Structure 1
């Protein structure tokens, strides 16, 4: 058997494997995004440096 045939088969399998992995990646991320709670801007307060003490405090 010429060495080109097994190499061509491996190349074809790797292409299909990459497509399958990309499809699964997107499917799983879509499921995770569906159950993720919406992000609230108030959940992360803005910190400002207190000029008197130099400490960081919520604003």
Structure 2
């Protein structure tokens, strides 16, 4: 291996730019989470206490 070849391998490669703004990525993530999250379960109905007639004294 030559010195120039090993220097090229160890040099960091530039990352490609996606061209999508971070705002759009975050909005897409929020929209995907909203669509894929099931709605909350309905709250159970409360039973009203049974009203019994009191006997007259």
TM > 0.5 fold call: no
The structure with the greater share of residues assigned to helix is: 1
Report which of the two structures shows the higher radius of gyration computed on alpha carbons. 2
Bigger RCO of structures 1 and 2 (CA < 8 A, at least 6 apart) = 1
TM-score (norm 1): 0.35
1 or 2, which has the higher strand percentage? 1
Q: Normalising by structure 2, report the TM-score.
A: 0.36
